[in-house]
């Protein structure tokens, strides 16, 4: 299917959070990950059929949804996900908050690799945890991981979680298998859980390959939780749908409890 990504679609006056928040019409809003191309025609058609039904009550998530997620990652990223590993929720930020709640106690530290998505900080703060930074190194026009700093800080007994952004927002790095393996080895050695925010996994330039952190080994799978959503790749942020993927049964129970405590356990029929 050919698609015209250059078509200009006016969005002012549509209650767009991106375009209608600024009073000055000369301001170009480039501060939020909300793209300005029209959603793919098959998605629009599916939504149109749902609207024509005319009733928008509470919904259950069908088996077809889980099949779509598991088949997508198997086909495109060679990652075999089991249906039972998936917990749905309203967005990746609520997902991150719920997973942090499940993995930490107030006063624990959560590590982030700065500069990083600003909502990481609020998710950490709202759970009563402290933030510790593993700053990325900017060198030769790109960002690299400071592994010596990561090793040192992961060894602290109160550091319980690394929030991994893979691919990284805003640095734009697609972490290599070698880099992800070093991160995982350090975290497992120090009993630090990895929460992998992989919401941007489809937005990768040719010549680079996104690798799901949990797909690298069984040990990595069982020592991590992955958060995904179709919202960035398909410009669907307003539909409020995301996935939490955890292969550890006990951890899933803790996350499910946190999802319900945070009251983000239901999704809408369009999502």
Tens of pLDDT, residue by residue over 252-269, are 999 999 998 877 788 999
76, 146, 139: which is closest to 111 by C-alpha?
146
Read off the tokens for 34: 């909300």
Q: Indicate whether 82 belongs to any domain.
A: yes
- Count of domains forming the chain: 1
Predicted local confidence at residue 1, as pLDDT: 66
Examine the pLDDT at 23 and tell me if it is beyond 80. no
- Structural domain range at position 157: 63-261
Pairing status of strand 224-228 against strand 193-197:
parallel
Read off the tokens for 85: 């590993």
Residues in the chain: 271
Q: Indicate whether 12 belongs to any domain.
A: no
Q: How far is CA 118 from the centre of its chain?
A: 13
Q: Indicate whether 131 belongs to any domain.
A: yes
Distance, CA of 204 to CA of 176 (rounded, Å) = 12
Q: How far is CA 230 from the centre of its chain?
A: 9
Q: Indicate whether 46 belongs to any domain.
A: no
Q: Indicate whether 49 belongs to any domain.
A: no
Q: Indicate whether 150 belongs to any domain.
A: yes
Q: Indicate whether 15 belongs to any domain.
A: no
Q: How far is CA 260 from the centre of its chain?
A: 19
Pairing status of strand 109-112 against strand 159-165:
parallel
| pLDDT tens profile 148-195 | 999 999 999 999 999 999 999 999 999 999 999 999 999 999 999 999
Predicted local confidence at residue 218, as pLDDT: 98
122, 121, 178, 132: which is closest to 157 by C-alpha?
132
CATH number of residue 153's parent domain: 3.40.640.10
Q: Model-level pTM?
A: 0.94
Predicted local confidence at residue 260, as pLDDT: 87
User: 7 preceded by cis ω (within 30°)?
Assistant: no
Q: Indicate whether 11 belongs to any domain.
A: no
């Amino acid at each position: 299917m050919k698609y015209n990504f250059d078509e200009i679609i006016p969005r002012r006056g549509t209650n767009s959070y991106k375009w209608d928040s600024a009073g000055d019409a000369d301001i170009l809003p480039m501060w939020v990950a909300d793209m300005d191309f029209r959603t793919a025609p098959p998605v629009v058609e599916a939504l149109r059929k749902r609207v024509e039904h005319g009733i928008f009550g509470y919904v259950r998530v069908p088996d077809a949804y889980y099949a779509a997620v598991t088949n997508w990652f198997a086909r495109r990223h060679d990652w075999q996900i089991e249906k039972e590993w998936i917990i749905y929720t309203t967005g990746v930020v609520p997902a991150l908050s719920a997973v942090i709640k499940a993995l930490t106690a107030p006063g624990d530290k959560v590590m982030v690799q700065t500069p990083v998505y600003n909502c990481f900080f609020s998710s950490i703060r709202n759970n009563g945890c402290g933030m510790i930074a593993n700053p990325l190194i900017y060198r030769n026009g790109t960002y690299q991981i400071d592994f010596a700093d990561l090793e040192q800080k992961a060894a602290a007994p109160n550091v319980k979680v690394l929030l991994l952004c893979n691919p990284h927002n805003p640095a734009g790095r697609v972490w290599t298998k070698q880099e992800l393996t070093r991160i995982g080895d350090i975290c497992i050695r120090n009993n630090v859980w990895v929460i992998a925010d992989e919401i941007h996994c489809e937005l990768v330039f040719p010549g680079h390959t996104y690798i799901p952190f949990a797909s690298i080994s069984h040990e990595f799978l069982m020592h991590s939780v992955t958060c995904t959503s179709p919202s960035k790749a398909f410009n669907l942020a307003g539909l409020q749908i995301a996935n939490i993927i955890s292969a550890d049964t006990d951890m899933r129970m803790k996350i499910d409890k946190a999802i319900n405590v945070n009251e983000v356990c239901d999704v809408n029929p369009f999502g």
